[in-house]
């Protein structure tokens, strides 16, 4: 979901909530001491549902793009550890002195730690297709996924 799409979605939910609240307020103004009508109950339920949907959409967007609350010492250490692992994986991948079997062993030895640090940071798991064709194909697919999915998040986190 893009930033423009989430903004449009959020604005639609806010308009719907505002409409419900305005209509409920009009009903209350007409009968300040009377019981809530069935329509007011429907509007209240609809407004609550819109708020839940809005929060879910925002949460999904935040998770999808790696947004996090203010960085703590623990999250900073995780981010730095993940950045260092990413740099190490890139160096191994680019090392012409290593054959693909060695690259495979070294890079996939780090994969569980990458996954654990991503989880600790609240990032979604790495999503990539493992071709299971050979060392070079497997390593290339994994590094390509890191470059496409993890690198932009690390850059955004480092930029603050």
What was the pLDDT predicted at 104? 94
What was the pLDDT predicted at 75? 76
pLDDT tens digits for 30-78? 555 555 566 666 766 776 677 667 767 776 776 666 665 556 777 778 8
What was the pLDDT predicted at 125? 82
pLDDT band at 101 (very low <50, low <70, confident <90, very high): very high
Question: pTM (2 decimals)?
Answer: 0.55
CA separation, residue 55 to residues 14, 60, 123 (Å): 11, 8, 18
């Amino acid at each position: 979901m893009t930033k423009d799409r989430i903004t449009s979605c959020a604005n639609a939910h806010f308009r719907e909530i505002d409409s419900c609240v305005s209509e409920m307020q009009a009903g209350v103004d007409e009968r300040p001491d009377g019981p809530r009508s069935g329509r007011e109950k429907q509007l209240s339920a609809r407004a609550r549902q819109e708020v839940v949907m809005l929060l879910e959409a925002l949460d999904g967007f935040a998770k999808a793009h790696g947004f996090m609350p203010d960085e703590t010492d623990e999250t900073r250490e995780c981010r730095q550890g993940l950045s260092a692992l990413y740099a190490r994986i890139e160096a191994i991948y680019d090392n012409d002195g290593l054959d693909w079997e060695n690259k495979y062993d070294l890079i996939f030895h780090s994969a569980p730690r990458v996954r654990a640090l991503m989880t600790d940071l609240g990032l979604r798991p790495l999503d990539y297709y493992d071709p299971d064709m050979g060392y070079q194909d497997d390593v290339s697919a994994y590094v390509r996924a890191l470059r496409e999915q993890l690198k932009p998040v690390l850059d955004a986190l480092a930029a603050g």
